[in-house]
């Protein structure tokens, strides 16, 4: 399978919407949206937090890097996630089957893995993706990790997590699951967690780019876009609002909205 099929390059087209120009000034530093952004945003210092939460709504995103290879690695089509990772999920579950785990037991472990993922999803989004930064490298890393998504929330090729980065993170996570589980249940639990991740990334893309016709996905889309455009310090769940309700970060009313 060709990598070029999975991660297509594209021409950059910037839609600055209501911005008066393609430049924003903060602390005497100019961010030029027509130039690669990653090594610019760090210079914003304390102004980065405000800048990154002023969305530019366009299906086309900015250029990140001048280097073509680095730029290529930041682009991922949404369907690469299930194509690459669902076979891996099946392989982990099969490993538990080979170790003699019964089908009902495996099903329970997979469901447990999905459930644990929802908590991890919430925790990462709230405490890592929305960490406050003001140093050059702090701003730069945050922009790469999640800030770019809030600045350009409709960028279709930077909405799901690049598979190469995911693969690197899987090794320590699987070792942690093995430490907390039995040899037979660990693959099924981990496979369930990975399935939860696939559901999360596909759901996230759907919420940004689809037009749901039924009530449940329509409400979930409204809930998530509310996080982007109205109340960015609440509503950290993606696949559900469960943990926002548990931990008190559920937006309560329109009165909670604040300008970013």
Angle CA 92–95–99, to nearest 5:
150
**Over 90: is that where the pLDDT of 18 sits?**
no
pLDDT band of residue 121 (cuts 50, 70, 90) is very high
Mean pLDDT value across residues 139-150 = 96
Other CB atoms within 10 Å distance of the CB of residue 79: 12
Residue 253, pLDDT score: 59
pLDDT at 72 over 90: yes
Confidence grade of residue 256 (pLDDT, cut at 50, 70, 90) = very low
Tell me the C-alpha distance between 187 and 184, whole Å.
7
DSSP 8-state secondary structure symbol assigned to residue 248: T
Contacts of 29 by beta carbon, 8 Å cutoff, 6+ apart: 40, 43, 44, 45
Which phi and psi (to 5°) does residue 75 adopt? -105, 125
Q: Which pLDDT band, with edges at 50, 70 and 90, does 11 fall under?
A: very low
**What are φ and ψ of residue 135, in 5° steps?**
-85, 165
In this predicted structure, what is the pLDDT of residue 258? 45
Q: Which residues contact 118 (CB under 8 A, 6 or more apart)?
A: 196, 237, 239, 240, 242, 243
- What three-state secondary structure class fits 255? helix
Measured CA to CA, the distance from residue 38 to residue 41 in angstroms comes to 6
pLDDT for 219 beyond 60 = yes
């Amino acid at each position: 399978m060709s990598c070029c099929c999975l991660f297509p390059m594209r021409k950059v087209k910037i839609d600055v919407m209501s911005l008066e120009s393609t430049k924003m000034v903060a602390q005497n530093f100019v961010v030029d949206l027509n130039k690669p952004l990653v090594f610019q945003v760090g210079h914003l210092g304390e102004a980065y937090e405000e800048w990154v939460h002023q969305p530019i709504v366009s299906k086309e995103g900015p250029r990140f890097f001048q280097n073509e290879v680095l730029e290529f690695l930041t682009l991922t089509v949404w369907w690469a996630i299930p194509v690459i990772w669902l076979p891996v999920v099946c392989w982990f579950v099969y490993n538990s089957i080979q170790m003699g785990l019964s089908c009902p037991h495996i099903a329970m472990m997979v469901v447990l893995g999905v459930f644990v993922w929802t908590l991890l999803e919430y925790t990462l989004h709230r405490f890592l993706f929305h960490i406050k930064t003001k140093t050059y490298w702090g701003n730069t890393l945050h922009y790469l990790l999640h800030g770019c998504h809030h600045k350009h929330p409709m960028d279709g090729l930077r909405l799901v997590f690049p598979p190469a980065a995911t693969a690197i993170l899987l090794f320590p996570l699987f070792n942690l699951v093995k430490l907390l589980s039995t040899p037979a249940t660990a693959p099924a639990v981990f496979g369930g967690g990975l399935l939860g991740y696939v559901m999360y990334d596909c759901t996230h893309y759907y919420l940004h780019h689809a037009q749901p016709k039924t009530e449940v996905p329509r409400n979930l889309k409204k809930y998530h876009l509310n996080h982007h455009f109205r109340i960015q310090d609440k509503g950290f769940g993606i696949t559900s609002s469960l943990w926002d309700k548990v931990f008190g970060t559920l937006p309560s009313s329109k009165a909670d909205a604040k300008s970013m």
